Amino acid sequence: MNHLQYIIFFLLILSFGRVDGQKYKDRIDSFRIHNDIKVTIDLPANTKLKKETIITFYALPNGNTTVQTMGKKMEVGDDWHYNIQHIKAQTDFIRKQLKDKNFVVIYLENDYKSWPLWKQKHSDFEVLIPHIVDSLSGSIKGNKKVIYLNGHSGGGSFIFGYLAGVDKIPASVKRISFLDSDYGYDSSYYSKFNRWLNEVKDASLNVFAYNDSIALYNGKPFVSATGGTWFRSHLFLKHLQDNFNFSKSTTDSLIIYKNQNKGIQFYFKINNDRGIYHTQQVELNGFIHSVLCGTKYDSRKYQYYSDRAYSKFIE
């Protein structure tokens, strides 16, 4: 164990179950590292060491706290942020499906409520972020552990910070998901993705975006033609199409691209009314689908971009 892992291990043996006044049946605790990062670990109540343990790092979107990201039953006067992601309830739904796995979620929040801004404040982020991922995953008990990197909105910047800090994506990372969060994508990252997808067994990449290039806020565009996830995701897909074959399908709401083994999936939300569909991509079973798409549980008891499948789990 490194020094940070010792600190994390000590904090994890303290009492679990309560986060900022919220009480949960699962083992949940929060602590701070590096002075400006809040870590919240959600461990399933029935953890079994013999099971495969999936450690999902969920980097928070800009402007949200962890408890808002986890979500809750809404009451009069509650902030609307509590009702737009519901990652905790979606986690509980996933656990009901993945009964043969230990599904762990690690929420990553910083004091600036923005991972792009946090990186600006830390010139050594390329060292810090891989160290955070390695230390936190190393502190979780399990005989067979795999890592999923996931994030919404500005949370994608944390993932790109991780990629910038590693020579290659390690084999322990099995899934990378961008929930309308790949604003930072450019060609400099492609070689690492390509190598990982070709060399790591069961590597899975999924990307979600909506046409923000035409979206209006108060009647005006708020994203440049090349600065949003619509453009960046299509650029990402274009690079992948040089090395992988994709099939294309459409629904009333979505344009979908999948490669042959379904390990790579892109979901583009159509935007005929020039609306803002940033958070709906998470709320409408987006986190569930980012974890389960391409597996035998894909679209089982839920549909992406449809009614909430997790409502009964909201506490």
Q: List the structure tokens of 96.
A: 């009901």
pLDDT at 275 over 60: yes
Give the pLDDT mean for 129-135.
99
* For residues 100-126, average pLDDT: 99
Look up residue 267 and give its two tokens.
Answer: 């979901």
Average pLDDT over every residue of 5-18: 49
pLDDT at position 14 is 41
**Structure tokens that stand for 246 in this block:** 């994709």
State the average pLDDT over residues 67-82: 98
Residue 310 Cα distances to 14, 167, 170, 181, 313, angstroms: 30, 38, 32, 22, 6
First to last CA, the chain: 36
Domains, the chain, ordered by start: 3-313 (3.40.50.1820)
Q: What is the pTM of this model?
A: 0.94
Summarize the confidence of residues 274-279 as an average pLDDT: 98
Which of 25, 109, 103, 16 minimizes the C-alpha distance to 67? 109
How would residue 7 be classed by pLDDT, with cut points 50, 70 and 90?
low
| CA distance readout (Å), 298 to 22, 68, 122, 288 | 31, 27, 38, 9
